[in-house]
């Protein structure tokens, strides 16, 4: 597929800058692949849209305060996005501007001192803290890594500290929220369970590759880096059991879908996995673990939209997105959701 085939027009006014007043007050566009249509709903209606016996799987990764604002020797600002620990004092990070974070450069974050000790071939830097651990630095000075289309991304508010995190987030490690889960409340999850729906958790730590732009002219030529994943045997068994019994497995978010599809073994069944989710899902891929997908609206020309097009078909998804634009849905991380059945 050519990358330009995943373009769509979006007025900037529809890019959500703040979360909905309540988590489950967002809207929900239900896309029916079988009949090629869609319906408008509210997210709070989700329990009624699910069936008893459905198997709902969520990503419980917690977003870390990964963004740090530093100063170089000349007093100029350098932004760092830490995403992977090498050891307590050294992490990999994305930096900008790159010209101020070449190998050997020293940076200051208040009293803390950092040094750029290397650069990976694809751009990330290896950053060393000279007077302590990076984890302590993030806890003391880090801020939530809001995406840059949220205008206050460099200065999150107190509201962001709560709302850019799912209510079931536990193990820390993501540098972007698994945003499909932001709409859930404890009460809504209780209602879903009362409906007779199983709710299971896995962990995929969202890495920077998730939001890296596709630069290749053909989507299949893009390289999507692996992400850390942990799927317990009990969760894998629950997914296998649901599929054997012809009950729907519903992935909450593209991260959950990537994790489950990465865990499919040669026999076509989901296995326990503690390692890497390395699959890159493009149109033509046959999903073997996921029957339905709950997700937010995604940026044009992104690897996430590529997965959605693979799941539901490019034409139907772009038609649904066009309807969402005309109907005034709110887009992206703090925006509304879709349920693709």
Q: How far apart are CA 60 and CA 74, in angstroms?
A: 41
Overall fold of domain 3-63+161-340: QueA-like (3.40.1780)
Task: Find tokens 């249509």 and name the residue.
Answer: 37
Answer yes or no: is pLDDT of 154 > 90: no
Assess if CATH 3.90.1150.10 describes domain 67-141. no
Token pair of 243, please? 């599929």
Alpha-carbon separation of residue 67 from 13, 87, 132, 143 (angstroms)? 26, 18, 17, 5
| CB-based contacts of 334, cutoff 8 Å, min separation 6 | 16, 17, 18, 19, 20, 150, 163, 179, 182
Task: Find tokens 């299971």 and name the residue.
Answer: 200
Per-residue pLDDT, averaged over 213-240, amounts to: 96
φ/ψ of 68, rounded to 5, equals -125, 135
Per-residue pLDDT, averaged over 4-17, amounts to: 97
pLDDT by residue (tens digit) across 73-103?
A: 999 999 999 999 999 999 999 998 877 888 8
Token pair of 274, please? 């503690």
Within 10 angstroms of residue 326's Cβ, the number of other Cβ atoms is: 8
User: What mean pLDDT value characterizes the chain?
Assistant: 95
Alpha-carbon separation of residue 135 from 91, 98, 158, 162 (angstroms)? 9, 23, 21, 20
pLDDT at 122: 56
pLDDT by residue (tens digit) across 285-311?
A: 999 999 999 999 999 999 999 999 999
Token pair of 105, please? 């450069």
| CB-based contacts of 287, cutoff 8 Å, min separation 6 | 257, 261, 281, 310, 311
Q: Specify the 3-state DSSP secondary structure of 252.
A: strand
Per-residue pLDDT, averaged over 214-238, amounts to: 96
pLDDT confidence of 202, banded at 50, 70, 90?
A: very high
> Considering Cα of 280, then 286, then 292, then 297, what sign does the dihedral take?
positive
What are the structural domain ranges in the chain?
3-63+161-340, 67-141
pLDDT at 212: 81
Q: How many CA atoms lie within 13 A of 264 on its CB side?
A: 15
pLDDT at 209: 85
Helix (H) or strand (E) holding 274: strand 273-277
pLDDT at 76: 93
pLDDT by residue (tens digit) across 123-146?
A: 789 999 999 999 999 999 999 999
Q: Strand 249-252 to strand 55-59: parallel, antiparallel, or no bridges (unpaired)?
A: parallel
pLDDT by residue (tens digit) across 103-118?
A: 899 999 999 999 999 7
What's the predicted TM-score (pTM) here?
0.95
How many percent of the chain have pLDDT more than 70? 99
Q: Strand 37-42 to strand 198-204: parallel, antiparallel, or no bridges (unpaired)?
A: unpaired
pLDDT at 278: 95
Answer yes or no: is pLDDT of 210 > 90: no
Answer yes or no: is pLDDT of 274 > 70: yes
Answer yes or no: is pLDDT of 121 > 60: no
Q: Strand 67-71 to strand 37-42: parallel, antiparallel, or no bridges (unpaired)?
A: unpaired
Answer yes or no: is pLDDT of 190 > 90: yes
Per-residue pLDDT, averaged over 232-247, amounts to: 98
**CA torsion angle for 259, 205, 153, 131 (degrees, to 10)?**
-160
Per-residue pLDDT, averaged over 247-255, amounts to: 98
**Alpha-helical runs (H) found in 280-313:** 303-312
Answer yes or no: is pLDDT of 120 > 70: no
Task: Find tokens 């629950």 and name the residue.
Answer: 238
Answer yes or no: is pLDDT of 224 > 60: yes
Contact 290, 257 (CB under 8 A): yes
């Amino acid at each position: 597929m050519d990358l330009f085939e995943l373009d769509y027009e979006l007025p900037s006014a529809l890019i959500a800058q703040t979360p909905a007043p309540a988590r489950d007050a967002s809207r929900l566009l239900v896309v029916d692949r079988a009949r090629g249509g869609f319906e408008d709903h509210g997210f709070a209606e989700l329990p009624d849209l699910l069936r008893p016996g459905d198997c709902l799987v969520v990503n419980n990764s917690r977003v870390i305060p990964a963004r740090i604002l530093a100063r170089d020797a000349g007093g100029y600002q350098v932004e760092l996005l830490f995403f992977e620990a090498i050891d307590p004092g050294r992490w990999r990070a994305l930096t900008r501007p790159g010209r101020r974070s070449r190998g050997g450069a020293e940076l200051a974050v208040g009293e803390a001192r950092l040094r750029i000790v290397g650069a990976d071939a694809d751009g990330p830097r290896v950053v060393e803290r000279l007077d302590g651990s990076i984890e302590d630095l993030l806890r003391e000075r880090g801020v939530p890594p809001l995406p840059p289309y949220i205008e206050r991304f460099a200065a999150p508010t107190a509201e962001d500290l709560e709302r850019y995190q799912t209510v079931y987030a536990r193990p820390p490690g993501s540098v972007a929220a698994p945003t499909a889960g932001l709409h859930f409340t404890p009460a809504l999850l209780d209602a879903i369970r009362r409906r007779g729906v199983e709710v299971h958790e896995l962990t995929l730590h969202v890495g920077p590759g998730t939001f890296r732009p596709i630069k290749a002219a053909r989507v299949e030529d893009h390289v999507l880096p692996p992400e850390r994943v942990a799927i317990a045997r009990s969760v894998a068994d629950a997914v296998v059991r649901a599929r054997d019994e012809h009950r729907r497995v519903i992935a909450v978010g593209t991260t959950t879908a990537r994790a489950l599809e990465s865990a499919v073994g040669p026999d076509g069944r989901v296995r326990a996995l503690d390692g890497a989710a390395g699959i890159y899902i493009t149109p033509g891929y046959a999903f073997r673990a996921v029957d339905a997908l709950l997700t937010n609206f995604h940026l044009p020309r992104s690897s996430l939209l590529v997965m959605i097009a693979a799941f539901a078909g490019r034409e139907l998804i772009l038609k649904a997105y066009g309807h969402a634009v005309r109907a005034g849905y709110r887009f992206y991380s703090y925006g509304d959701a879709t349920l693709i059945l």
